[in-house]
Structure 1
Amino acid sequence: MWCDGTPGGLSTFGAAIVSYTADGRIAGQRPVSYPSDSEPQYVCGSPRDLSQQQVRQLFNKDFTLLAGIVRAANGQGRQATALDLESGQVVGPRPDPDAFGVAPRHSSPVFQSGTDLLWYQDQDRRIWSRDARATQAPAPERGRSAGNGFMLEGSTVWTPLSWSMLSASAEAIAPGGAIAAVFDEVWGLHLVRNGQEDTDTPKLGPSRYGDKNLPGSDRVPDGCSPRFWSGPTVLVCANARALVRVTFAADHGSVTRVESLLPENDRDNSEAVLAADGRTAYFVSRAGSGPPALYRLALDTPNAVPAKVVDLSGPANARSAQLHLLATQ
């Protein structure tokens, strides 16, 4: 998915979802522009370094809706909503500028995996959900967030209380929901548990600032942000040069193995996702000022060399287009 401002102005967003076959041929394209009062969550406008899980939860079950925010016409209020990826129109209710009371100030809209249920947080950190296409009131309160956002594992709200979660950009919950990996630019990569109040969460990688690191994790490189879990105890993280597989003990109390999955390189690599087969990763790589390209990597082949699939071309009107890999099928 490419996202950029459109000729209508910097506050107007447009996107193009492009699908490719396994051999690099374009299978389909869906360009769309969004109303000027809307903001697609995270993938446009104010991008964040997101894990595969976070990116997938921005879309509903069949990639027809994108989680977002719509602003009130009078500037008073922000409503969690969904944006139609065919028409670009806002789906569901908008803020009512004539309503007497406190205007909604929603944030962190995401979809529950495999559904059209839109979850979001209000100004009092209460968490709600509703069918994205419905106009009725949301279901009863689903929980409360400890801070500026929450994660979702199925229908379970994940809201650790540790500082690493509250300031994190990339977050990924392990299959089964026992633990999550969270990344912050200053404090690095940490493991947290749901509801955890301990601020001394273990770091993966060399110890800095006197923080405690997880035993066996010294070889995890700096800036390694979680991309995906390939199993309950196997995390893949990445920075611009490396894609690293980290294997934990069954209780996640130590690291038993750290493997570099890419040959030494001087490229800018990003956006790694796990394929549906569980044995293949795809990622975006750029050499110097060249175009970004999609690469395939066999995870179950020792010393595998990434294979280029296709160069990725942005929309014709792109000025500073943001690129995200969404999923594989």
Structure 2
Amino acid sequence: MRDLARATLCVIAACALAAGCGAEKEPKSTAAPPAKPSTTAPVVFAAPGTVLAMRCYQLEWQLPPTLLLQAISVNDGKITSQTSVQLPENAKGTEWCRGRYAGPLVRQLFDRDFRHLAVTMADPATGGRRVMALRLADGAVVPQLPQATDDFSSATNETDPFFHPATGELWFRDEETKQLKSRDLKNGQTTIRHTFRESSSGVAVPHSSGFWLTRWTQADSTLVSPDGQRAIEGDFNGRYLALRDQPQAEWRSLDGSVVREELSGPVVPCTYPALWLSSHTLLCAYDGGGQFSTMTFSDNGKRVTESKPAILPHTDRRNYAPVASPDGEKIAFVSTQGTQVALFEVPLNGPAEPRKIADLPPPPGMKSDQAALIVPDPVLLGWN
């Protein structure tokens, strides 16, 4: 009996340690793990053969805009992936969400893998502005805002955010210190990248090897070539081709400005500089958005060496938001006719008949005629 009792106690102890012996096991948690900052490029927006389209819309006027990103297959027009997130209520400087800027200027607000969006957040307590990043996976703003202090100092005043295409870092202008800085999204630490002159109103526009300085009045129209050696600048008098470190008096006019000397050579219409196809070749829109043209510039920026006056057949359609294919031989673009919005592609050695990739449906919860009236046009951000 003593041996039987000892054996029974051992079994009971073993059962207790193993949580077995018919006892109901505690169910495993099914809660999703907390979202973590991005570390690798997601497959969803980097799949080869897809075009990335962005739209902003408001289902109710009192709500902040919702950002919608969609990757669309060039081959069959299907949406391969998409994500949407509502912008924060206290986000400032969201004109890009209202269809005001060209695709290359909007693209620089996103990091390389489209995990984060650069935003300028208003501090309701101090009236200050701080550049942060909106995490698209869950709508969280990172890094966390610093704790308020009792220091007798000016409010934070940060503007003009962008993600640098080479480093992937969040950059911005600090109006208080007149410096260009970058911010680490993990710990919030900042690094000084450039110091502006005290009276400067300069704005930095990123490119693959650094940044281009322009005036704030021109920043929403400055397109920098991939090598950073030339840019399209604009002011109230027109559009100009500028070389790095070149005096403004030597800029050459793209559109017959009376204050600058014109480019020589086979110049073609260029009402809206849209996209650099290479470090020397520019894609332009004109004719009210009905046509695209190209111009290739000489190294000294004084002459057009080659041009194509018309890429598309002449129609009554409005065409915009072009992006270049990875091999540089085609462009994809958005085309509208009435309430119809569609995605097309066309070779650059045109004129040629464009091929429809897909109709672009209105945002969720909207009809086509409603979206045509109140929703900004889609913007294409790239072609993988």
Q: What's the TM-score once normalised by structure 1's chain length? A: 0.86
Check 1:51–1:261 CA distance in 2 against 1; reply closer, same or farther (3 A cut).
Answer: same
Partner of 1:278: 328
The alignment partner of 2:248 has SS state of: coil
Q: Residue 147 of structure 1 aligns to which amino acid in structure 2?
A: S
Q: 1:40 touches 1:67 (CA, 8 Å); kept in 2?
A: no
The 1:96–1:188 alpha-carbon spacing in structure 2 relative to 1, beyond 3 Å, is farther
The percent identity for this pair of structures is 26
Describe the shift of the 1:60–1:126 C-alpha distance in structure 2 as closer, same or farther (beyond 3 A). same
Kindly provide the amino acid, as one letter, of the partner of residue 325 in structure 1.
L
Matched, 1:116 2:165: no
Give the letter aligned to residue 76 of structure 1. Answer: G
Question: Which of the residues 201, 209, 212 maps onto 1:147?
Answer: 201
- 8 Å contact from structure 2 (residues 66, 84) kept in 1: yes
8 Å Cα contact 1:61-1:113 kept in structure 2: yes
Counterpart residue type for residue 321 of structure 1: V
Partner Cα distance (1:160, 1:194) in 2? 11
Residue 198 (structure 2) pairs with residue 137 (structure 1): no
Question: How many Å apart are 1:139 and its aligned residue?
Answer: 0.9
Matched, 1:30 2:83: yes
**Greater CA drift, 61-70 or 122-131:** 122-131
> Which residue matches 1:204?
254
**Contact preservation (8 Å) 1:65, 1:83:** yes
Structure with greater helix percent: 2
1:197, distance to aligned residue in structure 2 (A): 4.0
Aligned AA (2:213): T
Residue of 249, 264, 268 corresponding to 1:219: 268
The one-letter amino acid paired with 1:109 is P
Paired residue type of 1:59: F
Instruction: Give the deviation of 1:19 after TM superposition.
Output: 1.2
Q: Which amino acid aligns with 1:68?
A: V
Deviation at 1:210, TM superposition (A): 4.5
Residue aligning to 1:234 = 281
Does the 8 Å CA contact 2:117/2:134 hold for their aligned counterparts? Answer: yes
Corresponding residue for residue 293 of structure 2: 244
CA gap of 1:188–1:127, structure 2 versus 1, over 3 A, is: same
2:103·2:380 contact (CA, 8 Å) conserved in 1? Answer: no
Provide Cα deviations, 1:57-93, integer angstroms capped at 9, x if missing partner.
1111110101111110225111111111121221114
**Among residues 343, 359, 362, which one is paired with 1:311 in the alignment?**
359
1:298 aligns with 2:369: no
Task: Encode CA deviations 1:185-224: one digit per residue, 9 max, x unaligned.
Answer: x43321123344424521113x243432112365324x2x
Deviation at 1:149, TM superposition (A): 2.1
2:313 aligned to which of 245, 263, 271: 263
**C-alpha distance 96-43 of structure 1, shift in aligned 2 (>3 A):** farther
Judge conservation of contact 2:267–2:304 (CA < 8 Å) in 1: no
Decide which of 219, 223, 229 is 1:178's aligned counterpart: 229
> Is residue 7 of structure 1 aligned with residue 54 of structure 2?
no
TM-score where L is the length of structure 2: 0.75
Give CA-to-partner distance per residue, 1:103-162, whole Å, 9 cap, x none: 11211100011543001012143110122x23333013434284252211235221146x
Question: Displacement of 1:98 after TM fit?
Answer: 4.9
* C-alpha deviation, 1:41, in angstroms: 4.6
Classify 1:144/1:305 alpha carbon distance in 2 versus 1 (closer, same or farther; 3 Å): farther
Greater shift, 77-86 or 314-323, is seen at 314-323
Q: CA deviation at 1:35?
A: 2.2
Residue 48 of structure 1: aligned partner: 100
State the distance in 2 between where 1:321 and 1:208 align.
34
In structure 2, stretches of 5+ residues that fail to align are 1-53
List runs of 5+ in structure 1 lacking aligned partners.
none
Q: Distance in 2 between matches of 1:160 and 1:35?
A: 29
Question: What is the CA distance between 1:310 and its match in structure 2?
Answer: 0.8
Is the contact between residue 171 and residue 183 of structure 1 (CA under 8 Å) also seen in structure 2?
Answer: yes
Q: What do the CA deviations read for 1:240-289 (whole angstroms, capped 9, x no partner)?
A: 112110111232221123312112122111101112221110111101x2
How many Å separate the matches in 2 of 1:96 and 1:39?
Answer: 21
